Amino acid sequence: MKGLKTLLIVLALFAFNLHTAQNQATSTQELSLDKGTINSQFEYIYKKSGNYRADGKRYEVVRIIWLDKLRKNVLDSLNAANKKEAELNATIAGHEATITSLNNKLEETTSNLSSVTEEKDSMSLLGMLVSKVTYNLILWTIISGLLLLFLLFVFKFRRSNTLTQEAKTALSELEVEYEDHRRRALEREQKISRQLQDEINKYRKSK
């Protein structure tokens, strides 16, 4: 019974070691210097390299061809990263230029919109742009002034016309009175002349 247990334990340990060895072999076979990430390539070299101890220190023995291949892969990765960075920087610069152009166009559009809005809300007066409120105020002030002047003119015209009519009436009455006075004066003068002539005749007869 004890021997059976020992045999089972030995078989279990053997199976475990075999499975671990197969996994390591499979993992090593999947690693390569021709593909995969830089980290996996370093892992490949680490697992493929030998080691030894000297003076109490551990040393790794790596084939120079692997190091050259790894260096080339690292440099290629760095060059690819630098190229990608340059492309990204160029793309960013292009986007920044586009954003700057769009901002300038937006400012120009905003300025034009402000000018159009100002022109829409303004009127030209004597070559100057004034707001519609100011323009309407000035316009209605001028119209009100002209209307007041017109009413004043009509009032003065009617008053002058009334005074003229009164003056004509007074002149007509004066002319009538003058004619009447002249007629009476003429009659008195004729009467006096006749009386004088009568007196003269009497005087002559008395002689």
Is residue 58 in some structural domain? yes
pLDDT reported for residue 127? 66
What is the average pLDDT across 173-186? 87
* First CA to last CA distance, the chain: 222
Residues 75 and 133 in one domain: no
Q: What is the pLDDT of residue 21?
A: 43
The answer to whether the beta carbons of residues 77 and 38 sit under 8 Å apart is yes
Over 70: is that where the pLDDT of 16 sits?
Answer: no
Same domain, 101 and 133: no
Q: Examine the domain organization and report whether 60 and 97 are in the same domain.
A: yes
**Is residue 2 domain-resident?**
no
Residues 51 and 94 in one domain: yes
Mean pLDDT of 11-15: 49
Do 139 and 101 belong to one domain?
A: no
Report the C-alpha gap between 61 and 4 in whole angstroms.
44
User: Which has more pLDDT, 48 or 148?
Assistant: 148
Tell me if 72 is assigned to some domain. yes
Give the whole-angstrom CA distance, residue 149 versus residue 170.
30
Residue 50 located in a structural domain: yes
pLDDT digits (tens, 9 = 90+) for 77-93: 889 889 999 999 999 99
Query: Is residue 182 included in any domain, yes or no?
Result: yes
Q: What is d(CA 195, CA 187) in angstroms, rounded to the nearest whole number? A: 12
Q: Taking 70 as the threshold, does the pLDDT of residue 23 lie above it?
A: no
- Let me know whether 189 and 157 are in one domain: yes
In angstroms, the CA 15 to CA 5 distance is: 15
Domain count, the chain: 2
Q: Indicate the residue among 55, 90, 105 that finishes a domain.
A: 105
Q: pLDDT band at 53, cuts 50/70/90?
A: confident
Task: Name beta bridge partners: 124.
Answer: 129
Q: 180 CB contacts (<8 Å, ≥6 apart)?
A: none
Q: Is residue 184 part of a domain?
A: yes
E strands present in 28-171: 50-54, 57-61, 122-125, 128-131
**Which residues have C-beta within 8 Å of that of residue 38, sequence separation ≥ 6?**
73, 74, 77
Same domain, 35 and 93: yes
User: In whole angstroms, what is the distance from residue 160 CA to residue 202 CA?
Assistant: 60
- Is 10 inside any structural domain? no
Provide the domain limits for residue 83.
31-105
CA pair distance 184, 92, nearest whole angstrom: 122
- Residue 125 vs residue 170, higher pLDDT: 170
Q: Is residue 59 within 8 Å of 53, Cβ to Cβ?
A: yes
Side-chain half-sphere CA neighbours of 39 within 13 A:
0
Amino acid, single-letter form, for residue 139: L
More confident residue, 33 or 22: 33
Whether 149 contacts 143, CB under 8 Å: no
